[in-house]
Amino acid sequence: MENKRDMTYETFLVTGAAGFIGSNYIELSLEKHPDRRVVALDALTYASTYDVIKPYVDEKLISFVKCDIRNPGQLEKVFDESRPDVVVNFAAESHVDSSIQNPSLFYETNVMGCINLLECARKHKTKRFLQVSTDEVYGSLSLDDDRKFTESDRLSPSSPYSASKAGAEMAVLAYHRTYDLDVVITRSSNNFGPHQHYEKLIPKVIRNAFFDKKIPVYGTGENIRDWIFVKDNALAIDEVIEKGKSGEVYNVGGGNEKSNLWIIRKILGIMGKSDELIEFVEDRPGHDERYALSDMKTRSEIGFSPTGNFEERLHETIRYYVKKLEKALR
Ligand SMILES: NC(=O)c1ccc[n+]([C@@H]2O[C@H](COP(=O)([O-])OP(=O)(O)OC[C@H]3O[C@@H](n4cnc5c(N)ncnc54)[C@H](O)[C@@H]3O)[C@@H](O)[C@H]2O)c1
C-alpha cells in the first residue's frame, strides 16, 4: 500500500468544522499549515460552536459553507465549487444519550451523511478521505480485563451512536475496496479540552460545579474511559492524513484511563467544591464498562504519541470553562 508522506494536498474540506474536535482541528491546521486552503462545512446544529471559527472566516483565513451532509444536492454543489483534495469528516451526531432517544437521526447523519460524502469524493476523485471514528466501535471491555483494543479487534458497538459510527466505517472501507477511493480512519478515545458542548461529561461537571448544582453520575461511576487532549487528537488526525496508509485504521489513545467518578472528584477537588454535589442516578442502558486502546500501530507507522501531562491539561480545561462561564455572567 502506498505511503502518502510525499503527496501534497491543497484544498481541505473539513466537515463538522464548527463542532468540538472540528474547530480545534481548524485551529491546529491554521497554526501548522497557514497556506492550506480550508473549506469548513457544518450544518450548525445545536452542538456547534460557530463563534470559535467565525473570526477565521471573517479574516478570510478559511471559508465556511453551511451545509447538511444528509442532503446530497447541497453536498454536490460544495464539491463542485471547492474541489477538495482531502475530506476530513468530523460531522456527526455525537451524544450517546441522545442516540438512545432518537436513533434514526444518528443513522441518517452518521451513516447516510458519510455515504453522501463518500459518493461525492468518488465522483470528484478526491485524493484522500479521512473518517473520524471512535473507540466506542469496539464495544466494552470488562473492568477486570486488562486488554486494550487493537485495530484488528472485532467491532461490537453497544449504543445507536457507536453502531452508526461502525456502520460509517464499513461504508468507508467498502468505498476503498470497491472504488479504490483512498481512505484512512482514526478511532480516538474520549476527547477533552476547549470548545466542547456542555452536554458532555467534563464541561457538564465543570458547569454544574461552578453553579453548585448536583452532578448526575450513571450507575456507580466506575466506568473507565481513556482520555486524550483534543489538540493531540487534532494533530494525530493531521499526521494520519499525511502518513497513513490507504485503507488502514489507526487508534488514537491518550494513555489516560480514568473512571468517571475519578474524573468528577478530580474536577471538584481542583475547583474547591464538595463531593456532596455528586448524585448517583440510574445507569444508562447498554453503558460500556471500559474502553482502552492500544496505539502501538499509530506510534510506529505514523510516529504520533500524545503529549503533555493529563492533570495539567485538565487544569487548563477547567480554567477555560470557568473563564467562559464568568464571562457569560457579566
Ligand atoms: N468527542 C469525542 O470524545 C469523540 C471521540 C471519538 C470520536 N469522535 C468523533 O469525532 C467527530 C467530532 O466529534 P465532536 O465531539 O466534535 O462532535 P460535536 O457534536 O461537537 O460536533 C459535530 C459537528 O457536526 C455538525 N453536524 C451534525 N450533523 C451534521 C450534518 N447533518 N451536516 C453537517 N454537519 C453536521 C454539528 O453541527 C457539529 O458542529 C464525530 O464524528 C465523533 O463521532 C468524538
Encode the chain (330 residues) as per-residue pLDDT tens digits: 444 444 689 999 999 999 999 999 999 999 999 999 999 999 999 999 999 999 999 999 999 999 999 999 999 999 999 999 999 999 999 999 999 999 999 999 999 999 999 999 999 999 999 999 999 999 999 999 989 999 999 999 999 999 999 999 999 999 999 999 999 999 999 999 999 999 999 999 999 999 999 999 999 999 999 999 999 999 999 999 999 999 999 999 999 999 999 999 999 999 999 999 999 999 989 888 999 999 999 999 999 999 999 999 999 999 999 999 999 999
Q: Which residues of 48-81 are buried (b: 16+ CB within 10 A; e: fewer)?
A: bbbebbeebbeeeebebbebbbeebebbeebbee
* 239 CB neighbour count, 10 Å cutoff: 18
Ligand 1 lined by 16 (C-beta under 6 Å): yes
Q: From the CB of 42, is ligand 1 less than 6 Å away?
A: yes
**pLDDT at position 1:** 44
237: in domain: yes
Q: Does some domain include residue 209?
A: no
The reported pLDDT for the residue numbered 8 is: 80
Residue with cell 444536492: 73
Domain around 300: 11-193+228-255+291-308
Query: What amino acid is encoded at 262 in this protein?
Result: W
- Which among 86, 166, 98 has a CA at the least distance from the CA of 128? 86
Kind and range of the H or E run holding 64: strand 63-66
Residue 210 forms part of a structural domain: no
Hey, which of 14, 15, 21 would you mutate to test ligand 1's pocket, going by the most ligand atoms within 8 Å of its Cβ?
21
In a domain, 216, yes or no: no
Domain assignment of residue 110, yes or no = yes
Closest atom of ligand 1 to 136 CA is 6
The total number of residues shown for the chain amounts to 330
Given the CA of residue 91, which atom of ligand 1 is nearest to it?
A: 24
Question: Residue 103 maps to which CATH number?
Answer: 3.40.50.720
Does residue 117 sit within a domain? yes
Indicate the residue type of 14. V
Do residues 116 and 70 lie in contact, with contact meaning Cβ atoms separated by under 8 Å? yes
- CB-based contact 190:227 (threshold 8 Å): yes
Whether residue 96 lies inside any domain: the answer is yes
242 sits in which H/E element = helix 230-243
Nearest atom (ligand 1) to Cα of 196: 20
The predicted-structure confidence for 6-65, as pLDDT tens digits, reads as follows: 468 999 999 999 999 999 999 999 999 999 999 999 999 999 999 999 999 999 999 999
Per-residue model confidence (pLDDT) at position 7: 64
Total tally of structural domains belonging to the chain = 1
Cα(275) to centroid(ligand 1), Å: 31
Q: Answer yes or no: is 278 within a domain.
A: no
Alpha carbon of 42 to ligand 1 centroid (Å)? 10
User: Would you say the CB of residue 90 lies under 6 angstroms from ligand 1?
Assistant: yes
Euclidean distance between CA atoms 249 and 173, whole angstroms: 10
Q: Which of 142, 51, 48, 141 is nearest to 95 (CA)?
A: 48
Cα(282) to centroid(ligand 1), Å: 26
